[in-house]
Structure 1
Amino acid sequence: MAKQDRSALIVGASRGLGLGLTRAFLARGWAVTATVRGEAPALAALSPVAPEIRRVDIDDDAGVARLRDDLAGTSFDVVFVVAGIADGAQVPLPQGDRATALKVYETNAVSPIRFAEAFADRIAPGGLMVLMSSILGSVSLNEGGSMESYRASKAALNTLARSFSARHRDAPFGTVLMHPGWVRTDMGGPEGDIDVATSAEGMAEVVEGRLGQRGCVYLDYRGETVAW
């Protein structure tokens, strides 16, 4: 399949890693549909090739259903759910606000899987469902604590993704949980190890290399396996 025949749906693309991934896939010749919750001037300004932009909030089931209807008849080689939040991440869970922790769980774990389920039959044979996880979601690597609600939400996402993959074991697509690295973004902070372009280009390369492969894997932006 020629790259120009490949298509991706990037969910949560207004800034940061979602914007970077949109730019990276467009540069590789892919057709990209990118979703945003509101205005996204940086996304709209991409050139010389721009993505198709759609609005959706993944926490809104009715909105996701409308997007699915709007994209009826369209399939994607890759659906990449990037959207996530880190509200209250620096506050230890016992001292934090309960509603905030539950919202992080909803947006980072429940909503991505519900979105994945809604679009599972829109993935082309040999394609991938990719969910933005984090090394902080690794239970076995959690030796230092910190960022407890965020860690827990990503660990939950990993578990739910394994269940999603098992539920669709006979489907002709694979599932990838992706750790983008510690990236200098609004969420990752200014002290991250790498910039958005390095992470996004690495993830795009990994995704292209996984096309046609089934099962569920947990990888970083270099293609290395992350411990569960």
Structure 2
Amino acid sequence: MTDTRETALVVGASRTLGLGIAAEYLRRDWDVIGTVRGSRRTGLHDLAETSGGRLTVESLEMTEPEQISALRDRLAGRTLDLLFVSAAITRGDLPIGEVPTDMFTEVMVTNALSPMRVVETLRSLVAPDGTIGVMSSDQGSITHNTRGGQDLYRASKSALNQLMRCYAARNAEDPRALLLMDPGWVRTELGGPYAELSVEESVPGVVETMENHRGKPGLHFVDHQGQVVPW
């Protein structure tokens, strides 16, 4: 009997939102490939042990381009219905004038350049009716930035949004749905302990929104409730 389950690749699935998204797709009876940095054991490994073989853990440091290429080679022959990049970092809330150059470079490379390298390198694995998404943030919205703060993180997400817009413009005939996902204000290391949503409250909406946009070509900047986020 042929396995007709759909397949999601979640880059940055070791914890919090990435891990929650991997778990949600398993609950929806998908096959899932999740990536982690390095070789240490994570929550994704624990999830894989209970997945009945439907979750595969891959190692990927996405800031290393050769590792992205190696992952593509390992996955050659597989078709992805979803490619989603969840990984991101923050380095504290400093006014931009106080941000050291090496910190600026690290955050921009991790949050903006590396996700786009993943998209560009792995796009050939995604089915024509599939979805390519990256985790953005309301903090990447210039329109919504009325209070300031988190200068570097905001800038990295705005840069990611712009780079995805460039990608969409260069690939205007691509039938895949392209998504910038805002998960809401979530209680993670990035969101802090006073955020409005738990991971468990955010993730089902994120996944449902991505599924609702499947088959809708072009770039969409949307939140976990399916609402459009202004640029």
Residue in structure 2 matching 1:87, options 73, 86, 91: 91
Matched residue, 1:163: 166
Query: Is contact 1:4–1:31 with CA below 8 Å preserved after alignment?
Result: no
- C-alpha distance in 2, partners of 1:48/1:68? 23
Matched residue, 1:136: 139
The question of 1:182 aligning with 2:171 is answered: no
Matched residue, 2:82: 78
Could you state the TM-score of these two structures normalised by the residue count of structure 1? 0.95
The question of 1:194 aligning with 2:202 is answered: no
| 1:155 partner letter | S
The question of 1:17 aligning with 2:20 is answered: no
Matched residue, 2:217: 214
| 1:32 partner letter | V
Matched residue, 1:30: 30
Extract unaligned runs of 5+ from structure 2: none
- C-alpha distance in 2, partners of 1:31/1:48? 9
Deviates more, 1:41-50 or 1:19-28: 41-50
Q: How does 1:73-152 map to 2 (within 5 A)?
A: 73-88=77-92, 90-152=93-155
- C-alpha distance in 1, partners of 2:4/2:147? 44
Query: Is contact 1:218–1:226 with CA below 8 Å preserved after alignment?
Result: yes
Deviates more, 1:21-30 or 1:163-172: 163-172
Matched residue, 2:59: 55
Give how far 1:172 is off. Answer: 2.4
Give how far 1:62 is off. Answer: 0.5
Residue in structure 1 matching 2:208, options 194, 205, 209: 205
Deviates more, 1:33-42 or 1:215-224: 33-42
- C-alpha distance in 2, partners of 1:169/1:52? 32
Give how far 1:4 is off. Answer: 5.7
Query: Is contact 1:130–1:175 with CA below 8 Å preserved after alignment?
Result: yes
Number of equivalenced pairs: 225
Query: Is contact 1:17–1:200 with CA below 8 Å preserved after alignment?
Result: yes
Query: Is contact 1:128–1:174 with CA below 8 Å preserved after alignment?
Result: yes
Give how far 1:196 is off. Answer: 0.5
- Structural RMSD (CA): 1.3
Query: Is contact 2:26–2:51 with CA below 8 Å preserved after alignment?
Result: no
Give how far 1:198 is off. Answer: 1.3
- SS of 1:5's partner is coil
Query: Is contact 1:4–1:29 with CA below 8 Å preserved after alignment?
Result: no
Give how far 1:220 is off. Answer: 0.4
1:40/1:4 CA distance change after superposition, 3 Å? farther
Query: Is contact 2:15–2:42 with CA below 8 Å preserved after alignment?
Result: no
| 2:10 partner letter | I
